Chains A and B, each alone.
Chain A
Amino acid sequence: MYFIHKASSINCQKAYQHDNIFRDLITPEDYLMLEEVDYKSLIPPAALRRMSTILKNSLCAAHQLKTEQDFDAIIVGTGLGCLQDTEKFLKTIHISQTETLSPTAFIQSTHNTIAGQISLALNNHGYNMTHTQHTFSFEVALMDAMQAVDDGMNQVLLGAAEEYIPFLDRLSDVVIPHDYPLSQGVSFFNISKTPAQIGITSIQFFNFKNPEEIRKVIHDTHADLLIYNGAKDESIHVKNQVNISQFTGFYLSNSAFAMHVGYDYLKNNPLANKVIIWNNLSQNHQSILVIERK
């Protein structure tokens, strides 16, 4: 079994170190306005100055989930990775006339900077992995976390992170059609085989599959709450439904925040037992994640 021991998110909701997130979800006025976090108490100032938004937030969330035991694995999923530094380095190489280029942006542009920086901050020598699979980036990382637990790793830090840059607005209609404004956020979890109140039951992937198959799985699950992030499906009859993108805005791994909200919902609603997180951002690639009271 895979139990969720703790969760930590930073995005436009009131989520960081809060309880009852589900109850307090609000449609934000500004999807890009991140919840204020005291970075300085967790990250040394010299390092903080060089860090992009995605790195700062991921490190804060990871610090929040630290336990006395070292993590056996640090597993991160990200759809587009460290965009601020990627764009910065692109600008440098196209515009800079000088022979010497500053390497900082390049160093921090790779997707695995996030998991790498966490391992550095925590002085962690364990399994360190970074997944990127467009709208599935969180789910494939979660799949790896489940394998890690099955392989005998007991303390797994699992997270997903996404960063906004203004350039993305230009691509809004052509490249990334979406119903809610572009935004950003990170969500991290402690996953362990040590029993806790709420656990992950299953994750199923549907690549290039018929929507009927997916509807059937959702109906057969009999969940108390369905959280999805793409288009509403009128033929799905689950009484309690939430579109998480309405609250987070659109970013590729916002289903990670959906799991945080589902976890929080089960914690605070003792009569509820099961939540489905249906990632339907993409038409061709959808997944169904079930979390449950154990």
Chain B
Amino acid sequence: MILITGQGVISALGVNVNENWAHLQQEKSAIKKGIQSFSSPYLVGQIELSNEELKQLAQVDGDYSRTALLGMIAARESFASHEIHPEIRTGFISGTSVGGMDLTEGEYKNYLTENETDRLETYKQHSSGIAAYQIAQLLGATDFINTISTACSSAANAIMLGARLIENNQLDRVIVGATDALSLFTISGFRSLMIYDSEWCAPFDERRKGLNLGEGAGFIVLESEKSQKITQSKVLGLLSGWCNASDAFHQTASSPDGQGAVLSMQGALKRANLKPEQIDYVNAHGTATPNNDLSESHALKQIFKEIPPFSSTKAYTGHTLAASGGIEAVFSLLAIEHQCLLPNLNFQNPIEETGLMPVQKLVYEQNIKHVLSNSFGFGGNNSSIIISKY
């Protein structure tokens, strides 16, 4: 049994779990016009703190990428009730898609357009594994350090790897999740693919045009039962299922029938030993791109005879890329803790082809035992995890 004994999150909704939960209850999107020069023409889910303010919040000083700082804040919150213990092998697995790109892209501009006046020291933060070393050292969780980079499924894959390392007795406890900062690189990237919505994104809606990017980090702590007996940490839930599968259809687009998504959901259900009808809520990937939401809808219809309540929370936070599966793992834990269904904001009309209706209002007094959370990335990288009530 893999126990979840910690959670931490920073997103446009707030800098910790409490702020995120408070904002979720207001049923209002945190996506707004960007405040940085590169983000100002667009709608983004940004954290309205400068890097200097983030350093104060993280209680660190020195050269760090924004990606690392966001990761430090969320990972530290998740591990706050924990201590390093000589008998407990503790690891740290992060995920990121941009790494230190938030710093690199600025310096590289100086190189290109300002007579090579870039500060070379800055590039030390570029390599995507650097943030994990910095965060792991901050927490003292250094028995295994790793970073996954599978684009938007990175966090889910970090969670999955952590669970497997505990199962195979390589670690007793591991902090898992992911972090990504907003960058010109990714905004331009999704614009070049013509899937960046200039309006507020509308997941699973017939008129959806694309995503709004966001930034943030989400981490949870996984622990073996043996380890939890020693730490006595509060159990927030169980990680009962996980699976990663490859769609092998296209480098960026999902297959029309959602084959990879079907495989990952099936695999996670099998691993959790659950029947589809036992899933009480699906936190969908739901990026609001025409392709993803249609493909995911088809996949949901193949898995579930009767579609369970489902929603995408990306209309709240924006699509936080690698971090999304970490942030949404925390949201799934909140749905279990508060026995509620989270709404899919900005929804008006179902996709004609599939007719699926997501949850539109926050509803309490539900009986939520098992939550399925999907994360699908570039390269046809599909991951599903199942979080269950303890």
Considering the complex, which residues of chain A in the window 54-103 have a beta carbon less than 8 Å from any beta carbon of chain B?
Answer: 74, 79-81, 89-95, 100-103
Nearest A residue (CB) for B247: A125
Asked if A140 is at the interface (CB within 8 A of a chain B CB), the reply is yes
Asked if A170 is at the interface (CB within 8 A of a chain B CB), the reply is yes
Q: Is the CB of B164 within 8 A of A124?
A: no
Q: Is the CB of A128 within 8 A of B150?
A: yes
Q: For the complex of A and B, list the 10 residue pairs with the smallest distance between their C-beta atoms, beginning with the closest.
A: A116-B379, A106-B189, A101-B192, A111-B149, A103-B192, A133-B129, A134-B129, A128-B246, A207-B142, A174-B120
Known pairs A74-B246, A129-B157, A175-B123; A90 contacts B105 (CB<8 A): yes
Q: Is the CB of A208 within 8 A of B137?
A: yes
The docked-state distance in angstroms from the alpha carbon of A123 to that of B244 is 16
Asked if A115 is at the interface (CB within 8 A of a chain B CB), the reply is yes
The interface residues of chain B lying within 8 Å CB-to-CB of A116 are 246, 251, 378-381
Q: Is the CB of A132 within 8 A of B128?
A: yes
Asked if B259 is at the interface (CB within 8 A of a chain A CB), the reply is yes
Min CB gap A28→B, angstroms: 25
Which of B120, B121, B136 has most A Cβ within 10 Å? B120
The docked-state distance in angstroms from the alpha carbon of A42 to that of B146 is 32
Asked if B345 is at the interface (CB within 8 A of a chain A CB), the reply is no
What mask results when residues 114 to 152 of chain A are scored 1 for a CB within 8 Å of chain B, else 0? 011101101111111111111011001001100100110
Q: Is the CB of A79 within 8 A of B246?
A: no
The interface residues of chain B lying within 8 Å CB-to-CB of A171 are 120, 123
Known: A93-B188, A125-B245. 4 other contacts (CB 8 A): A90-B105, A106-B189, A131-B149, A208-B137
The docked-state distance in angstroms from the alpha carbon of A219 to that of B359 is 61
Q: Is the CB of B381 within 8 A of A125?
A: no
Min CB gap A77→B, angstroms: 10
Q: Is the CB of B108 within 8 A of A94?
A: yes
Nearest A residue (CB) for B105: A90
Min CB gap A206→B, angstroms: 9
The interface residues of chain B lying within 8 Å CB-to-CB of A132 are 99, 127-129, 147-149
Asked if B250 is at the interface (CB within 8 A of a chain A CB), the reply is yes
Q: Is the CB of B109 within 8 A of A94?
A: yes
Nearest A residue (CB) for B120: A174
Q: List 25 A-B contacts (CB under 8 A).
A: A80-B126, A81-B149, A89-B185, A94-B105, A94-B108, A94-B112, A107-B251, A110-B149, A110-B151, A111-B97, A115-B150, A125-B245, A127-B245, A127-B246, A129-B161, A130-B150, A131-B147, A132-B147, A134-B133, A147-B161, A147-B168, A175-B123, A205-B143, A207-B145, A285-B133
The interface residues of chain B lying within 8 Å CB-to-CB of A126 are 245-246
Considering the complex, which residues of chain B in the window 165-195 have a beta carbon less than 8 Å from any beta carbon of chain A?
Answer: 165, 168, 170, 184-185, 188-189, 191-193
Nearest A residue (CB) for B379: A116
Min CB gap B84→A, angstroms: 12
Asked if B21 is at the interface (CB within 8 A of a chain A CB), the reply is no
Asked if B260 is at the interface (CB within 8 A of a chain A CB), the reply is yes
Asked if A112 is at the interface (CB within 8 A of a chain B CB), the reply is yes
The interface residues of chain A lying within 8 Å CB-to-CB of B129 are 79, 132-134, 136-137
The docked-state distance in angstroms from the alpha carbon of A107 to that of B378 is 8
The docked-state distance in angstroms from the alpha carbon of A203 to that of B128 is 22
The interface residues of chain A lying within 8 Å CB-to-CB of B191 are 101
Min CB gap B58→A, angstroms: 19
Considering the complex, which residues of chain B in the window 101-132 have a beta carbon less than 8 Å from any beta carbon of chain A?
Answer: 104-105, 108-109, 112-113, 120-121, 123-124, 126-130, 132
Asked if A113 is at the interface (CB within 8 A of a chain B CB), the reply is yes
Asked if A108 is at the interface (CB within 8 A of a chain B CB), the reply is yes
The docked-state distance in angstroms from the alpha carbon of A252 to that of B379 is 23
Q: Is the CB of B150 within 8 A of A112?
A: yes
Q: Is the CB of B151 within 8 A of A128?
A: no
Q: Is the CB of A147 within 8 A of B164?
A: yes
Q: Is the CB of A89 within 8 A of B247?
A: no
The interface residues of chain B lying within 8 Å CB-to-CB of A94 are 105, 108-109, 112-113
Min CB gap B2→A, angstroms: 14
Asked if B36 is at the interface (CB within 8 A of a chain A CB), the reply is no
Min CB gap A82→B, angstroms: 11
Q: Is the CB of A125 within 8 A of B146?
A: no
Q: Is the CB of A110 within 8 A of B185?
A: no
Q: Which of B121, B161, B379 contacts A144 (CB 8 A)?
A: B161
Q: Which of A144, A150, A175 contacts B124 (CB 8 A)?
A: A175
Q: Is the CB of A131 within 8 A of B380?
A: no
Q: Which of B112, B148, B151, B161 contacts A95 (CB 8 A)?
A: B112
The docked-state distance in angstroms from the alpha carbon of A274 to that of B269 is 42
Q: Is the CB of A115 within 8 A of B379?
A: yes
Known pairs A103-B193, A129-B150; A147 contacts B165 (CB<8 A): yes
Min CB gap A195→B, angstroms: 20
Q: Is the CB of A107 within 8 A of B188?
A: no
Q: Is the CB of A90 within 8 A of B108?
A: yes
The interface residues of chain B lying within 8 Å CB-to-CB of A100 are 192
Min CB gap A90→B, angstroms: 5
Which of A90, A124, A147 has most B Cβ within 10 Å? A90
Q: Is the CB of B380 within 8 A of A129?
A: no
Q: Is the CB of A120 within 8 A of B248?
A: yes
The docked-state distance in angstroms from the alpha carbon of A119 to that of B121 is 37
The docked-state distance in angstroms from the alpha carbon of A167 to that of B144 is 31
